[in-house]
Amino acid sequence: MKKLLLLCLPFLLIASDISVQVLGSGGPETTQRASSSYLIKRDGKALVLIDFGGGSFLRFSQAKAKIEDLEAMLCTHLHIDHVVDLPALMKAGYFSERLRSLPLIGPDANDYFPGFNEYIQLQFGKNGAYRYMSDILSQESDSFSIIPYEVSAYTNFDFNGVKITAVPVKHGVVPTLAFRIDIDGKKIVFSADTAAHTDTLEKLSVDADILIAHHAIPQHGYNHARELHMTPERIAQIAAVAKPKILVLSHRMKRTYGSEKESTDIIKKDYTGKLIWAEDLLSINLP
């Protein structure tokens, strides 16, 4: 027995606790919820930030997160309720202890939206809204620099062992990315806002430890919004195929309030795993 414990000791010493914390569980409306934002933590420290909508800046602080701990920041798309607090975080970073560059990943352009590289220039470039911070795009920055990556197709990244897969998904006319993060043997998937008309999300989410899906519309009505978001029935279909250990329903818009039981019943007909409704600052330890 002692020999067995000695053999296992190196693995016990390097084992880490991975968790997902919801910073913002709401949408673009004025509610008590912050807009979409999520944080992956390792041993209680911020590791990857996904989206940063209105109110997320405050939630980031309440989560006791530090920008200097982040390995990457991911932007699913450029709707205001997913990205508007980004400049505030970058400004706060100037006063942090971060010195190394921060990778930022976002979607490409179309006729309706700028690509992620252009978006960053519109914020911090020499002619941007916050041009006084333009040195953040330079390696000679007084604090740290940001490095944007614009994604137009299935792409893999690896930042110090944090493996990120970015995949374009359908969200009306909005260029949008879903993400899978593989870290320390855990698989974490973020659906982003999507109608999920193809099997892309099923494939990305197979055997995930956790799938964070957006519950932005109820099962009935809102026909136009069905080109932007998944119905509960579609979420159920994806979860039934992918079989994530935990399914989290987030991006909870006012039009879905009161439909939680109906949506739960619909999803539970096909999905037998653990189902959680997101709340701001909810932290979920991965099994």
Per-residue confidence at 193, pLDDT binned at 50, 70, 90?
very high
Per-residue confidence at 1, pLDDT binned at 50, 70, 90?
low
For the chain, what is the mean pLDDT? 95
Residue 8 tokens read as: 């296992």
What pLDDT, on the 0 to 100 scale, is given for residue 3?
Answer: 55
What CA–CA distance (Å, rounded) separates 250 from 233?
A: 15
Q: Is residue 13 pLDDT above 80, yes or no? A: no
Residue the block writes with tokens 């209680």: 44
Residue 115 tokens read as: 């690509």
Sign of CA dihedral 8, 181, 22, 86: positive
What pLDDT, on the 0 to 100 scale, is given for residue 250?
Answer: 98
Of the given ranges (11-15, 73-77, 146-150, 157-161), which has the lowest mean pLDDT? 11-15
The whole-number average pLDDT for the span 106-113 is 98
Q: Is residue 10 pLDDT above 60, yes or no? A: no
Per-residue confidence at 143, pLDDT binned at 50, 70, 90?
confident
Q: What are phi and psi of 196, to 5 degrees?
A: 55, 55
What pLDDT, on the 0 to 100 scale, is given for residue 142?
Answer: 81
What pLDDT, on the 0 to 100 scale, is given for residue 11?
Answer: 45
User: For the stretch 235-266, what's the b/e string if a residue is b when 16 or more beta carbons lie within 10 angstroms of its beta carbon?
Assistant: bbbbbeebbbebbbbbbbbeebeebeeebeeb
What pLDDT, on the 0 to 100 scale, is given for residue 248?
Answer: 98
The model's pLDDT over 201-233, given as tens digits with 9 standing for 90+, comes to: 999 999 999 999 999 999 999 999 999 999 999
Residue the block writes with tokens 């930030």: 49
Q: Is residue 197 pLDDT above 70, yes or no? A: yes
Q: Answer whether 64's CB lies under 8 Å from 109's CB.
A: no
Per-residue confidence at 96, pLDDT binned at 50, 70, 90?
very high
Beta strands in the chain (DSSP E): 18-24, 37-42, 45-50, 72-74, 102-107, 146-151, 155-159, 162-169, 176-183, 186-190, 210-214, 246-250, 274-277, 283-285
What pLDDT, on the 0 to 100 scale, is given for residue 12?
Answer: 45
The whole-number average pLDDT for the span 242-269 is 98
Q: Is residue 4 pLDDT above 80, yes or no? A: no
Q: What is the dihedral of CA 249, 254, 257, 259, to 10 degrees?
A: -70
What CA–CA distance (Å, rounded) separates 91 from 154?
A: 31
What CA–CA distance (Å, rounded) separates 9 from 2?
A: 10
Percent share of the chain, pLDDT over 70 = 95
> Which has more confidence, 6 or 70?
70
What pLDDT, on the 0 to 100 scale, is given for residue 140?
Answer: 79
Q: Is residue 41 pLDDT above 80, yes or no? A: yes
What pLDDT, on the 0 to 100 scale, is given for residue 16?
Answer: 86
